[in-house]
Chains A and B, each alone.
Chain A
């Protein structure tokens, strides 16, 4: 039963974790809007979500092993490490900073709305289950 509950909520849990990770990356872009040579970064959400749902991080680099007992370091279930990519600025600035405040703000608001949506859906699922239990 516990695994069923986990199955029911897992998708939204993984998605919300990724969303909050992305929120953090966007917050750091906004914080560094006037830092010279700072490069704006972002998470490509769709592939990152697929990887997180498949239960593996984006790294894929394994340790070299010379004995059977060595750990290969292919830890599964590390959805908190999606690969970060660099944003291509529409208009570059002379100090090497690639943060464009309008784009970052738009992404930040969009991400917030997605988090809010995820939380709403999750909350409704919980309510639905509660009403199934309580009749």
Chain B
């Protein structure tokens, strides 16, 4: 039944986008974590999306292929009284760009809503097909 593939495809988008939202939440929560379990400041994480072939490669779903650590330089803050300050009085703060993360969050939530809309439409069409001939 080919139209059940739509649920597979839209479902994969829901999973991927909610994983992206998780990463955004982690970045925003740790935007000011000067130290972590390894003693270094938190580094922002970003998801990388990848299209996965469904239905003999004609239509494709989506999945998170990797979660990368943001390579951009850490934010240097002058705070001599901070316990993590180096000899010059600077503290390395996380390289989380809060504005970028908010944009990411809005994009992810819009994409999530779109996929739900797709599923709803597919469902109502299939229910309509079930009433054929009645």
Contacts and interface: CB of A to CB of B under 8 A. Distances in A.
Contact of A27 (B49, B50, B110, B118): B118
B81 interface: no
Interface of A: 16-17, 20-21, 23-25, 27-28, 30-36, 38, 80-81, 84, 101, 105, 108-109, 112, 115-116, 119, 122-123, 126-127, 130
Contacts, number: 94
A130 B101 CA distance: 60
Contacts of A122: 132
9 tightest CB-CB pairs across the interface, nearest first?
A: A31-B13, A28-B59, A35-B49, A126-B133, A27-B6, A24-B59, A20-B3, A28-B60, A27-B9
Given A24-B55, A27-B10, A127-B133, A32 B118 contact: no
Interface in B48-75: 48-51, 54-55, 58-62
A30 B2 contact: no
Interface stretch (B22-30, B32-40, B88-96, B120-128): B120-128
Contacts of A84: 58
A31 B9 contact: yes
B62 A31 contact: yes
A24 B122 CA distance: 9
Contact of B6 (A24, A101, A119): A24
A33 B128 contact: no
A21 B1 CA distance: 11
Given A28-B9, A119-B128, A122-B132, 11 more contacts: A20-B3, A24-B9, A24-B55, A28-B54, A31-B12, A35-B50, A80-B2, A116-B125, A123-B131, A126-B133, A130-B133
A32 B2 contact: no
A30 B60 CA distance: 10
Contacts of A130: 133
Contacts of B115: 30-31
Contacts of B118: 27, 30-31, 108
Given A101-B114, A127-B133, A24 B13 contact: no
B84 interface: no
B125 A115 contact: yes
